[in-house]
Structure formats: structure tokens, C-alpha cells
Structure 1
Amino acid sequence: MRIGSIELASPVVLAPMAGVTNVAFRTLCRELELERTGTVSGLYVCEMVTARALVERHPVTMHMTTFAPQENPRSMQLYTVDPEYTYAAAKMIVEENLADHIDMNFGCPVPKVTRKGGGSAIPYKRKLFQRIVAAAVKATEGTDIPVTVKFRIGIDDEHRTHLDAGRIAAAEGARAVALHARTASQRYSGTADWDEIARLKDHVADVPVLGNGDIFEPADAVAMMDRTGCDGVVIGRGCLGRPWLFAELSAMLNGRPAPQAPTLGEVSDIIIRHCELLIAHYNHLEGGGEAKGCREIRKHVAWYLRGFPAGSEIRSRMSLVTTLDELRELVSSLPADAPFPTDGHGPRGRQGSPAKVALPEGWLDDPYEDIVPEGAEIMHSGG
């Protein structure tokens, strides 16, 4: 799959996930793909960062933009609602060589974001959406840095915007578009509507269309591409606790047998490696290092051990781990030869329930209003 100047041997993209897809997790995914397939072939996107916080060099945001020396291409996702900050952030990325690819997030359904007019609320305002995409593209003119755009089907079933968003993004110079095939009101619940990915593919013929939603196994990716005709897939919750999934996807989509699923002993080694990478990532932050890395690994451990015979006591102790040595001791007590569980597949992470989308008052009155929503350009990244 080609996205502008970027040629990918595998049409697989890691979805940005707040608190997950930092340099430690991306490095782990890349290492496992290389170890199991002999190559690194997909696109691994960093956590979402806020355009304004990037421009104003907020220390936490700057730390989130860390890439490993071997990462190529370096992919950064921006959260933005303001064309001026969008242009400034993209220009900064270009001039300071911060990344090789810019993705733009218009899919976040979190209430604290949408109630101020950000995330998945933005594509409803067609002119504002157009100005934001155009600003990023303008800032990267004359470079090899492609701009891509990710969005949802719409705010809800009565306010669907994905076809307009895809058309507008492509017309303004985006080099690919990605659709999470849910509305914002669905959040992460229910079933992704892959038929809408097919509709978008039919509607946007000039650039690659990527599909996102309910890909938990390699066969799911194959099924989505066969059913919708999309050019690539974006993997989010399916890789939580399964960073080796990209090796399986790469192999299957390139016509090779998928590597064998790891035993609990192999997963234990992966957990330790993940924690080591987290500690290294946070070493330079105040209050970081081992303490921060061990706090971060706790949520991952629950995903890693899903379905394995670990026992409630070990799981409980791992959820409170404070040192790497303690973690090593705990995983060493697990039955190393336990095979990967048959119920270790399927949805992971947040799912929740559908709910009415929180929006600014009067947001739905005029879909062509292009006023920047006040207070939506939040300072801190994440969400």
C-alpha cells in the first residue's frame, strides 16, 4: 500500500491509542514483527498529540512525540480544531523533522472532547473540517510528508458525515482516509458497519481508503478487505495485550502462514520486555523511570493474561507491581508451557454502551458554519 511517498509492504496500520501506543509499545510491535516474519512492514502511529500543545512545546506532549532511532516511517497523529494551530503544528513537524507522516484525528468520541466541538464532532462542520485539512496540507507542500485523515461514520445515524468527509479530505490533498465504521454515539459498542467502508471506497476513488473496526484476528482483516474493497486496515483494540498480532497480519495478508500463537512463557517474556521499554521511555521524566513504567504495565498485564491460567492472586499482585524485579518474580511463577487460550481472542479494552453525543449548544444547527469552537483546542494531549 502506498500513502503518498510512503510505501508499505503490508497494508496494516496501528491505530493511535492514548496511553498505549507510545514508543515502548510501537517498538515492541516492530520487534515482534521482525522476529516472527523477518521484516517490519506496517505503519505504527504514535499517540494522538494536541496541535496547540505541540506548538507551545508542552513538555508532556513533546515527550509523547518520541520515536525510536529505528522507526521508519515515523508517524504522528494530531488532534486539532483550529486551522491556524493545525498549520503551525504541521509546519513545526516539517521544519524540525519530527515525523515522516501526519495523521489527523476526527474520530475521538470521548465526551470531554466532543462537548467542546472536537474529535468526531468536527466533520459535521464541513467548512471548518475543510479548512483544517487544507491547513495541514499547505504546511507540508513541497515535502514528502503525506497528510491522512481518520474519522467516524458520523455523530449518530441521523447525522452521517463520512462520505462528505472523505470527499473533502481527498479534494484538499489528503493522501489517504481511514474510517472507523461506527458513529460517535456508538463509541466502541456494538458492531462496526463494514458496509459503510465499502460505500466510502466507492465514493472516494482517488486515494487509499482504510477500514477500522472489529479486527481482532488476521482473518478479520482479510474478511474486511474482501468485503469492502478497502486498501488497508487500521488495528486498535485487537492488539491490546497482543503486540504480536501485526506479525500475524503481515504474514496472512502477504500469503504466508501466520506464526504460531505464543505460550504463556513467551508472553511472560514479552511482558518483561514491554516493561523494560516503558521504563526506558519514562526515564527522563520527573517521577518517571521504573515507578512510572511499572504503573503503566499494570493495565497491559490484564490484557496479556486474558484467558491464561494465571490465578486471581497473581493477577491481583501484578495489578499492584512497583518494580521490574517484582514483575519478573511474579511472571516466573506462571506455567510457562500453557498454550495460548482459545478464549484469548476477541474484543479487548473499552467497549461501553451507546450514548447521546455531548455537543456544544446549537452545534447541529448549521453544518456549514466554520467558526473554531471555543476551548476545544485543549492544552494536554490524550483522550
Structure 2
Amino acid sequence: MPNPVPGPLTLGPHTVWPPVVLAPMAGITNVAFRQLCREQGGGLYVCEMVTTRALVERNPKTLRMVAFGDGERPRSLQLYGIDPEVTAAAVRMVVEEDLADHIDLNFGCPVPKVTRKGGGAALPWRHRLFARIVGSAVRAAAPAGVPVTVKMRKGIDDDHLTYVEAGLAAQDAGVAAVALHGRTAAQRYSGTADWDAIGTLKQALDVPVLGNGDIWEADDALRMVAHTGADGVVVGRGCLGRPWLFADLAAAFDGRPQRRLPDLGEVAVTMRRHAELLADWYADGGRNPNGERDGCVDFRKHVAWYLKGFPVGSELRRALAMVNSLAELDDLLGKLDTAEPFPVQTLGQPRGRTNSPGKVVLPDGWLADRDSAEVPTGAELADSGG
């Protein structure tokens, strides 16, 4: 039986403990959210996905997204690209301008605007193109010793699985680790993650393998590594509205039994901290006079996640999801019953987006030619974060 508690995760010169990675999530894992999570426990906290083309073209929004907070080490950046040359140029830029300490390549995104161009979870099907992209990134990062990792899904659907072949190709290209979300692109975020597939990949590779999918509680992470032998876990939706999950994960991997069950008063303090961090980030050192309002508007999407399961009236919930200032937020938070205990019935329940399986949108003829290494026309995305 695999060791239920792996050792520290090694990524090139970086040692990560606990072996926990915050998954990049569009519109979520900005500087503010990463800091909030880092304050709870150790691990690797990855910024929102940025596109290679937007980075190379110095898109202002993208450059803002790849900023990191003080003391944020290692700085982890996820790139999405479908052109080996553009990917190499983006990685050289990261290296030469010291923008990050670790680069992750996205081959797991299932959204139609990405897969219809052959990117994200669709790309490993074109195994030669996949190998070209990963190899170009590793070679561009090598002179500075910046480790490159890959995050992917099982495949396009159950009839077009690619994860073992792609994992071996990534290992041959020199990646430092491979992360697998145990779902196909067709599953999107539905059903149950296939942890057996993560175990299969772990058996096939020599580099570290990280497991992703259905880690809602810290004990889920322990069960996953015990079941699969994975070297660490990647956590996405499970931490939405629950940044203290990283404190639980640190305790779990340290062998400590403590788990956080904050009452509504403690949750309110965390909500206020989150909104304050967002306001500070949007203020951009005073360059944006509307920073507080922009930060509060961004915070609105988190309200339902924080309050999930708590008996908070619909009017107050609605008002909190429309805040425009920290003072307004303070007033509304003051109306909560701070003694309300944590709703334990929500433990282990899915959070964030859930949806039904669906047909993956692909370029014409994509499945018919596995061996093509050509870059699809118009595939590079000019914007980041989605």
C-alpha cells in the first residue's frame, strides 16, 4: 500500500511543504486570494492562467496578473499556449525578467473557447505538438534552472484518453512534475474524479505526480495520496469560501488532528480580510482611485461560498453580494449572528462550479490526425484569465 503521507515536494531548487498546490482559477487566484491562503498554511500558490501570446505582447492586464506579493516564494505562474515558438518566447521572458520561480503549463482547461482552438485539454491528443510545446518550454527555462511542470486531464473523453502517453512525453521532455485532474474534458466538473487514473500515472512515471479532483477536505487529500501514491495534491474548488482549508491541509500532512470549523464570526473576519486585500490590490499603490470599490465588486462572487450552509437571510446575503465599500461591508457583517456554528453538513460537499458532461468542442478534423505537429491556425489567445 502506498505511503499515506508523502515527503516534501521537490520542484527543481524548490522544496514545498506541505505538498499542496493551489490550482490556478480564473478570476480567483489573484495576489489577494493567494495571500489570504498563504496566511493559513504552506504550499505552492499558483497565479491565474495567463496566455503566452498576451504575455509576450505585454498585454497590460496580463502583466498585472503575473505580479506577485512581497515574500511570495516560490512565485508560481501558469502559462497557456499552443505554439511552441510563442511558448518558448514567453518562458524566456519569464526567465530573463525574473517574473517567476516556477512555470506550469496548462493542458487541462476544458472550456469551449480553449478546446475549439485545440488548446487546453484537447491538445495532448496531438502528441507531437504536445511534446514540441513542453520541450520548448523546458529548454527555454533550463539556463536559469526554473522548473517546468504540466497540468492535464485524463483526455478528451473516455474514448480518447491521453494522460499516460502525455505524462511520459512530458517526463522525457524534462518536466519537474506532472499534475493530473482525474476527469476528462467531456466530464468538465461533473461526476466523481477518477483517482485510479492518478495511481496509474504515478506507476508509469518517475517524476513526481500530483493528484487533482474532489479534494473538499484535508482528509480527502490524505485518502487520495494513500489510494494513488501521489506525491502531492492540487486543490481548486475546495478552498472557495474556505481559505482555512490550507491550515487543515498543513495539519493533515504534519500528522496533526486539528481541523478548522470556524463559527460565523470567524468567517466574517476572514471575509473582511479578503475584501481588504482585494481593495489594496486593486488600488495598485494609489494608482487606481477606485481600488476599494473595484476590490469590493470582485469580492461579491465569494460571498455565497463563504456563507454556504449558514442560516443567513436572503436579504442580507443579497446585500453582501452587492457591496461597494469596506464600510458598507463592515455594516453588513455586523448584522450576522457571529455565534452561529460552522455548518458541518457542508463538509465534503462540492463547491464552486458543477455542471453536466458535454461534448467537447474541437477544431474540424482534430481527432482524425493524431500525428500532426502543426500549430492550428488562429489558436493563440490574445487575452488571459479564462
The two structures share one fold, judged by TM-score above 0.5: yes
Task: Give yes or no for the alignment of 1:16 onto 2:24.
Answer: yes
Residue number in structure 2 paired with 1:246:
246
Listed as ranges, the matches of 1:156-195 within 5 Å are: 156-195=157-196
- Which residue number corresponds to residue 276 of structure 1? 276
Shift of 1:3: 1.5
- Matched with 1:64 is 65
Q: What is the one-letter code of the residue matched to 2:318? A: S
- Structure 1 residue 248: deviation in Å? 0.3
Which 5+ residue runs of structure 2 have no aligned equivalent?
Answer: 1-8
1:138 aligns with 2:139: yes
Q: After superposition, give the CA deviation of every residue in 1:320-356 in whole Å (9 maximum; x if it has no partner).
A: 1111111111011101111111123321111110000
1:44-80 deviation per Cα after TM superposition (whole angstroms, max 9, x unaligned): 1010011110011100000001100110110000011
Residue from 371, 374, 377 that aligns with 2:374: 371
Q: Which contiguous aligned blocks of 4+ residues in structure 1 show a shift greater than 4 angstroms?
A: 285-288
SS at match of 1:104: strand
Task: State the one-letter code of the partner of 2:364.
Answer: E
Measured in 2, the distance between the counterparts of 1:121 and 1:58 equals 25
Q: For 1:196-275, what aligned pairs fall within 5 Å after superposition?
A: 196-204=197-205, 206-275=206-275
Distance in structure 1 (CA, Å) of the matches to 2:359 and 2:84: 27
Equivalent runs, 1:344-363 vs 2, <5 Å:
344-345=346-347, 346-363=349-366
Superposed displacement of residue 281, structure 1: 1.1
The residue correspondences of 1:301-320 to structure 2 (distance < 5 A) are 301-320=303-322
Name the CA distance, whole Å, in 2 between partners of 1:96 and 1:148: 20
SS for the counterpart of 2:345 is coil
CA contact 1:14–1:235 (8 Å) conserved in 2: yes
**Cα offset, 1:147, TM superposition:** 0.1
Q: How does 1:65-80 map to 2 (within 5 A)?
A: 65-80=66-81
Instruction: Map Cα deviations across residues 228-271 of structure 1 (whole Å, 9 max, x no partner).
Output: 11110000000000011011011111111224321111110111
SS in 2 for 1:29: helix
For residues 298 and 219 of structure 2, the distance between their equivalents in structure 1, rounded to whole angstroms, comes to 30
Residue 28, structure 1, aligned to residue 36, structure 2: yes
Give CA deviations for 1:107-158 in whole Å, capped at 9, x if unaligned: 0000111011111111000000000001110111132310000000000000
Instruction: Give the whole-Å Cα distance in 2 for the aligned partners of 1:178 and 1:256.
Output: 26
Q: CA deviation at 1:303?
A: 0.2
The one-letter code of the counterpart of 1:211 is G
Q: Give 1:288 shift.
A: 4.8
Pairwise mapping of residues 83-102 of structure 1 onto structure 2 (< 5 A)?
Answer: 83-102=84-103
Whether contact under 8 Å (1:308, 1:344) holds in the other structure is no
Question: CA separation in 2, counterparts of 1:154 and 1:243?
Answer: 30
The alignment of Structure 1 onto Structure 2 pairs a total of residues equal to 375
CA distance in 1, matches of 2:39, 2:231: 25
Question: How many percent identity over aligned positions?
Answer: 59
Deviation of 1:8 after TM superposition, in Å, equals: 1.1
Cα 1:58–1:305 change in 2 (3 A) is same
Q: Tell me the TM-score normalised to structure 1 length.
A: 0.96
| Unmatched tracts of structure 1, length 5 or more | 34-40
Q: If the length of structure 2 is used for normalisation, what is the TM-score? A: 0.95
Tell whether the 8 Å contact from 2:247 to 2:260 is kept in structure 1 after alignment: no
Distance 1:88 1:231, change over 3 A: same
1:4 to 2:5 alignment: no
1:288–1:169: structure 2 CA closer, same or farther, 3 Å change rule?
Answer: farther
SS at match of 2:142: coil
